[in-house]
A and B are shown apart, each in its own frame.
Chain A
Amino acid sequence: MTVLASVLDTFGDGLDFIVNERTGRGGGEVGGLSANGDLLWEHLKLCLVAMAIACAVALPLGLWLGHTRRAAFLAISVSNIGRAVPAIALLFVFFAFLGAGFANVALALTLLAIPPILTNAYVGVREVDPDAVDAARGVGMTGPQVLRRVELPLAMPLVFGGIRTSAVNVVATATIAPLAGVVTLGDPIINPSIYGEEGRLGAAILVALLAVATEVVLAGAQRAVTPRGLAASPRRRLMTRTRTILAALAALALMLGVVACGDDDDDGSAGGGGSSTQAAPTAAITKNAENASTTLTVGSKNFTEQKVLGEIYAQAFAAAGYKVRKELNLGDEQTALKALKGGQIDGYPEYTGTALLSFFEVPTKDLPKDATAAYDEAKSRFAEDGITAFPPTPFTSSNEVAVTQETADKLGLKKISDLDGKSQDLVLYGSPECRGRDDCLRGLQNVYGLKFKRFVPVDIAQRHEVLTNGDADVSIVFTTDPQISRNREVLLEDDKGMFPPYNSTFLMKTETADKAGPDLQKTIEAVNKNLTARVMQELNARVDLDKETPAEAASDYLQQFDLVSAGS
């Protein structure tokens, strides 16, 4: 029963998130009725816009087609096709072709909402008793009159059923809208790195309640618009759902409880093992059979450079004979550090600057200016937490404030402080965690005193597209991004020293590092040696531009620099 207790505890934390504000992992305030109310409002706004457009398009069309009995095949098959297209695929197609943002997501949701409304309106009108229509014509009604006064009222239950199906579906799908840059109630679910696990659970509870509420309200409305003559028919019994809803929820809770007593740890996370290769004598990293008894789980954060670095270390450790597992998409730095401390991963690459700012909250004025000093400080701070920070890479990959060449020319921008007096008209895009970071939105506000017209959190992979397609005036990018020169972006100089050096250092619990033996440090140093800015940029380009997988890019790197033997 301890499992049950801990599960209930977890759900209690989730509920607490809904009503009580707390400090999020990134430092900002999250949770509480007011913040969740804002998310809820954005969620509803998105759904209402999508439903309004969908109804405006699909209702007249469906009713008219049903009335004239035309295009039966189209009206029916549109809902079948609609069912077969996954909502998330629709969302990403719009995202890839049109970019992030409210309008594009609303459009995708509209497309999702149309099929059930259209088909139900069509079927509803067509299935009206022909005798009733004949009678209406017999008393001298015109076509539009028949539709408005006979067919529509009789079709109302089905027509409204379509709207209800769509609405519930749209509310559900709006949950994943943050993947395309709209911050709805799904944000805590998709970005637990900011809101914490309790935020994720709290939001999941809220989204579930919102969907049920939508269903209940629309079911009530459907009952209200159903003509009295039809309401008594047994088919309408489904609509007395409200009454039994509490009983059913109680039953659900009971089921959850029963399941909870069942099994507790079923961690199905699979990690692909690296290939174990027999290294040729010339390779810098050679296989040591003694290492086979040590399993290392390599982690990384959720953007290209991190995934490539994670793959490089994973493959290099494998070549040195270690057993390797991978967790290469952990989210932001707080998530990765938590995973490291919690033992979910054994190590991951982190940037010295990120560590100083996000983990150790070094004030901007105290930031070291030189790479060695930054590493030394991060290393000694990590050591206090029982974490070893291995010697860093030659490359540094800072956050950068980027604008297009046109924007820079038009506004005369060279330094970040040039944005002063102009930023209130500019839209800034950044990753979700940017909101709470001193080397991102918070620093731009506090260090440079900038206020932007809007900050739009967007998936980190979109940081260049938002500039190219004109959504963003200013975007936060990384020094080693190959898109900077390709897209002729201008990086604004950090004239107030907001960004420290960001060399990458491989982090590991000291305890684990000691157990892994001397080959560990040797391997890391061999790997790091050639990771210059130019090489890192090339590796990023292979993934972001050439669309290779991080694993392919990593493997090429290790072979190119004779770190492992060819043919692995």
Chain B
Amino acid sequence: MIAQGDNGFFRERTDTCVTDNGLCPGWVVDHLDRYTTPLLQHVFLTVTSVAAGFLIAGSLAILAHRRRWLVGPITNVTGILYTLPSVAVFFLLLPITGRGNLTAIIALTAYTLLILFRNILAGLDAVPADARDAGRGMGLTDRQLLWRVELPLALPAIMAGLRIATTTTVGLAALAFFAGAGGLGEPLEAQKAFKTNVVFAGGLCVALAIVLDAMILLVQRSITPWTRAA
């Protein structure tokens, strides 16, 4: 039935690392390009979601810092968002926002809120009363006090929250392919029985988490020099 040109089309297969489903570093080196787009999507989803979460949680924390009665309700609402399984959230959002980045980013952002809100608020609350008094004594307005005294002193706690939120989001973004937003979960799932693939794609997620974590740590060190002097 093979009419034409089948010379060389049918391969002789010997047992190799790849056909035997082993761990094959050589295969990874030859197929790195399969992971570049998903990795970039993963970074995009993580950075966008954490950034959006940071803006929202930061605003909420500043609000709750001044109006204490808000702490309970905000903690409860963000707590429930944190509890909902992300796969469920993707599909609960699907009828409303459709498949794609938007759905994934909304869900991932929702997860960061509790972590970030708690840490930013804890940081603001831990600012020594003396520092606040000194600021007021210098004639700072409420707004100036917040930006020049309270937020800088709360930075270590804020950055600690940012690190936890980022690491968590990298992990959850591996599920974003369910929402049609790609990410490293896509190649991970595409060949989930291929050992080399699951180890490498899973490893990339972990490596991304570590790299982003280290980057935030570096930023934190450079913007809070006083924490090292002590």
Contacts and interface: CB of A to CB of B under 8 A. Distances in A.
Contacts of A530: 2-4, 6
B63 interface: no
A268 B202 contact: no
Contact of A7 (B76, B95, B181, B202): B95
A93 B80 contact: no
Contact of A212 (B84, B167, B199): B84
A204 interface: yes
Most buried by B among A6, A260, A542, A545: A545
A93 B202 contact: yes
A462 B21 CA distance: 12
Contact of B19 (A6, A11, A252, A546): A546
Interface in B140-163: none
A152 interface: no
B29 to A, nearest CB: 13
Given A96-B192, A96-B194, A172-B86, A267 B76 contact: no
A267 B174 contact: no
Contacts of B89: 204, 208
B171 to A, nearest CB: 4
A88 B188 contact: yes
A141 interface: no
Interface string B165-184: 00110111011000011000
B88 A541 contact: no
B88 A175 contact: yes
Interface stretch (B47-55, B205-213, B219-227): B205-213
B229 interface: no
Interface residues of A, number: 82
A562 B4 contact: yes
Contact of B85 (A6, A85, A172, A247): A172
Contacts of A83: 164, 167-168, 171, 209
Contacts of A86: 170-172, 174-175, 185, 202, 205-206
B193 A212 contact: no
A439 B203 CA distance: 40
A212 B92 CA distance: 15
B97 A259 contact: yes
Interface stretch (A237-245, A369-377, A379-387, A398-406): A237-245
Interface in B76-134: 76-77, 79-81, 83-92, 94-102
Contacts of B21: 96
A215 interface: yes
Interface string A506-545: 0000000000000000000000011010110010011001
A409 to B, nearest CB: 23
Given A96-B193, A266-B98, A267-B100, A186 B198 contact: no
A269 interface: yes
Contacts of A535: 2, 6, 9
Contacts of B101: 268
Given A268-B101, A268-B180, A562-B4, A211 B96 contact: no
Contacts of B61: none
Contact of B98 (A265, A462, A557): A265
Interface of chain B, helix or strand or loop or mixed? helix
Nearest to A13: B95
Interface in A425-448: none
Contacts of B65: none
Given A249-B80, A562-B5, A92 B189 contact: yes
Contact of A266 (B11, B79, B100): B100
Nearest to A395: B1
A320 to B, nearest CB: 19
Contacts of B210: 84
Contact of A259 (B10, B31, B88, B96): B96
A545 B18 contact: yes
B39 interface: no
A97 interface: yes
A10 B97 CA distance: 13
A204 B88 contact: yes
B157 to A, nearest CB: 16
Given A84-B167, A86-B170, A96-B193, A269 B9 contact: no
B13 A541 contact: yes
B73 interface: yes
B171 A85 contact: yes
A499 to B, nearest CB: 21
B193 A462 contact: yes
B98 to A, nearest CB: 5
B167 A208 contact: no
Contacts of A256: 92, 96
A88 B185 contact: yes
A27 interface: no
A461 B4 contact: no
A81 to B, nearest CB: 8
Given A212-B84, A241-B76, A465 B193 contact: yes
A84 B72 contact: no
Most buried by A among B21, B95, B198: B95
A21 interface: no
B92 A201 contact: yes
B72 A237 contact: yes
A310 B199 CA distance: 28
Contacts of A534: 1-2, 10
Contact of A238 (B9, B75, B180): B75
B174 A461 contact: no
Nearest to A561: B5
Nearest to B8: A560
A212 B80 CA distance: 7
B91 A201 contact: yes
Given A93-B199, A249-B80, A562-B4, A207 B100 contact: no
Contacts of A486: 13, 19
Contacts of B194: 96, 547
A92 B177 CA distance: 15
Interface of A: 6-7, 10-11, 80, 83-90, 92-93, 95-97, 168, 171-173, 175-176, 179, 186, 189, 200-201, 203-205, 207-208, 211-212, 214-215, 237-238, 240-241, 244-245, 247-249, 251-252, 256, 259-260, 263-269, 394, 459, 461-462, 465, 486, 529-530, 532, 534-535, 538, 541-542, 545-547, 549, 556-557, 560-562
Interface of B: 1-6, 8-11, 13, 18-19, 21, 27, 31, 34, 72-73, 75-77, 79-81, 83-92, 94-102, 164, 167-168, 170-172, 174-175, 180-181, 185, 188-189, 191-199, 201-202, 205-206, 209-210, 213
10 contacts: A87-B174, A203-B88, A207-B87, A208-B92, A211-B83, A247-B73, A268-B181, A486-B13, A486-B19, A545-B19
Given A201-B91, A259-B96, 17 more contacts: A89-B198, A89-B205, A92-B198, A172-B87, A172-B88, A176-B175, A179-B192, A203-B88, A205-B92, A212-B80, A215-B80, A265-B98, A267-B98, A546-B18, A556-B9, A561-B5, A561-B9
